[in-house]
Amino acid sequence: MTRSRRKILFVAEAVTLAHVVRPLVMASSLNHDDYDVHIATASGFEFCYRNNDFPHWNINSISPERFMAALASGKPLYDFPTLKAYAEEELELFDKVNPDIVVGDFRLSLAVSAVTRKIPYVATVNAHWSPYSAFERFPVPDLPAVRLFGEKLVAAVFHRFQPVIFATHARPLNRLRKAYGLKPLGDLRCAYTWGDQTLYLDAPQLVPTRNLPPNHHYVGPAIWSPDTPLPEWWDNLESATPCVYVTLGSSGAIDLLPLVIEILGNMPVNVLLATAGRSKLLDVPGNVRCSDYLPGSDAAQRSALVVCNGGSATVYQALAKGVPVLGIASNMDQHLTMACVEQVGAGISVRSDAASPRLIEQKLQTLLADHRYLAAARQVQEWFEEYQLERRFPQFLDWFSGSDQH
């Protein structure tokens, strides 16, 4: 007997490019003879979806600018009214779509709306946010206090009060759950990762956890590149000169880009620069080739080094091609990603608030000259080949949609 198509609704929080494209990668991995796929997200990243025919539902998200401002200040990312409005809109969406399963990427309010409608909810997240993470102490992000008092002092205070800080960040969601008659989830890590099933978009060798419950699973990284044509200069680069791919993405410290380009302009490399539309460099060195967007996987594969903001989207793009990374990290998510990369020796992290010309140049030269970083990156590439999302996510969903786990 043929099983009827299951309707899967992917809900993406459109605050960074990564949170939008990861659901797209998962959706694209599914056999459409088995699944009726729908995607809901806010406007602003339409170029990601132009070559697929999934039914698209428009929902509201806070702006990327508001999200980045909250990250920079260290304040909770969402307040109660915002999450309440999200949940109410999601409940209306569920009534229209009538999904069998909801898959969410950083849409925290689904921990209320999906439960209220009794729809099985799958949360997708990076494992470094897990309550079961091997990290015992979280790094201090680039906050104003760090610039005033120094990282060492702020880190000591942060680690002393980390439980209180993490509980404060979860308070708006827990208040919303209480309003709907649901139990609180705990701290920030539980708020970010809660679901009937939780999927980690990583390889466990790179981002380890301990004592995972049976409803937490690794499915591998979501590798995505924009479907954009190669620029005219792509085939005219000198093949004997190593390339360095530079992109600070949609959430990097863009003010450091001119400094990075100036340093690389004096090095014997070809620079492949993707600005993500966030910067207009009027005068670039002769060895720099610039575009708003590049097919990142192709650019990484062609390069000896990738320079990025330390976020998992570009970091994993590079490591999937066996290329080491210099991550200029600012927010906590980026610092956590790069901490894992440094732990296995596949790259170097530089704090954006400490990124001096001398330090950046030194780290660039080290990564290009020391082949141990290349060897470690190729090891991570092998781990990623074992944990291919395009294989593991459909396997998970086939199991979950046909099981009695919900």
CB 288 within 8 A of CB 261: yes
Q: Are residues 62 and 179 in the same domain?
A: yes
- Domain count of the fold of the chain: 2
Q: Are residues 135 and 84 in the same domain?
A: yes
Q: What percent of the chain has pLDDT over 90?
A: 73
User: What are 373-404's pLDDT values in tens digits?
Assistant: 999 999 999 999 999 999 999 999 999 988 55
Tokens coding 358:
């001398």
Q: Are residues 326 and 180 in the same domain?
A: no
Tokens coding 64:
């990327």
pLDDT band per the 50, 70, 90 thresholds, residue 73 = confident
pLDDT band per the 50, 70, 90 thresholds, residue 227 = confident
Q: Considering the entire predicted model, what is its pTM?
A: 0.94
Q: Are residues 217 and 254 in the same domain?
A: no
pLDDT, residue 221, reads: 98
Tell me the C-alpha distance between 59 and 13, whole Å: 9
- The answer, yes or no, to whether residue 346 has pLDDT greater than 50, is yes
Tell me the C-alpha distance between 122 and 101, whole Å: 8
Q: Are residues 360 and 320 in the same domain?
A: yes
Mean pLDDT within 219-229? 91
Edge to edge, the sheet with strand 288-291 lists: 288-291, 270-274, 243-246, 305-308, 325-329, 347-351
CB 170 within 8 A of CB 188: yes
Q: Are residues 168 and 254 in the same domain?
A: no
pLDDT, residue 155, reads: 85
Angle between helices 162-179 and 151-160 (to 10 degrees): 50
Q: Are residues 121 and 195 in the same domain?
A: yes
Q: Are residues 189 and 337 in the same domain?
A: no
Tell me the C-alpha distance between 329 and 327, whole Å: 6
Tell me the C-alpha distance between 71 and 155, whole Å: 17
For residue 372, the enclosing domain spans: 232-385
Residue 329 lies in a domain: yes
User: What are 98-149's pLDDT values in tens digits?
Assistant: 999 999 999 999 999 999 999 999 999 999 999 999 987 788 888 888 888 8
**Mean pLDDT, rounded, of the chain:** 92
Residue 406 lies in a domain: no
Q: Are residues 171 and 311 in the same domain?
A: no
pLDDT, residue 66, reads: 95
- The answer, yes or no, to whether residue 405 has pLDDT greater than 60, is no
pLDDT, residue 390, reads: 98
Residue 316 lies in a domain: yes
Tell me the C-alpha distance between 3 and 7, whole Å: 12
Pairing of strands 121-125, 197-200: parallel
Mean pLDDT within 280-297? 84
Q: What is the DSSP letter of 89?
A: H
Q: Are residues 379 and 244 in the same domain?
A: yes
Residue 227 lies in a domain: no
- The answer, yes or no, to whether residue 71 has pLDDT greater than 90, is no
Mean pLDDT within 41-64? 91
CB 218 within 8 A of CB 200: yes
Mean pLDDT within 257-275? 93
Residue 106 lies in a domain: yes
Mean pLDDT within 246-251? 73
Mean pLDDT within 254-263? 87
Q: Are residues 340 and 397 in the same domain?
A: no
Instruction: Kindly report the CATH number assigned to the domain that includes residue 355.
Output: 3.40.50.2000
Hey, is 69 helix, strand or coil?
helix
Residue 226 lies in a domain: no
Residue 264 lies in a domain: yes
Q: Are residues 196 and 279 in the same domain?
A: no
Residue carrying structure tokens 């600012």: 330
Neighbours of 214 (CB within 10 A): 7
pLDDT band per the 50, 70, 90 thresholds, residue 1 = very low
pLDDT, residue 59, reads: 98
Residue 1 lies in a domain: no
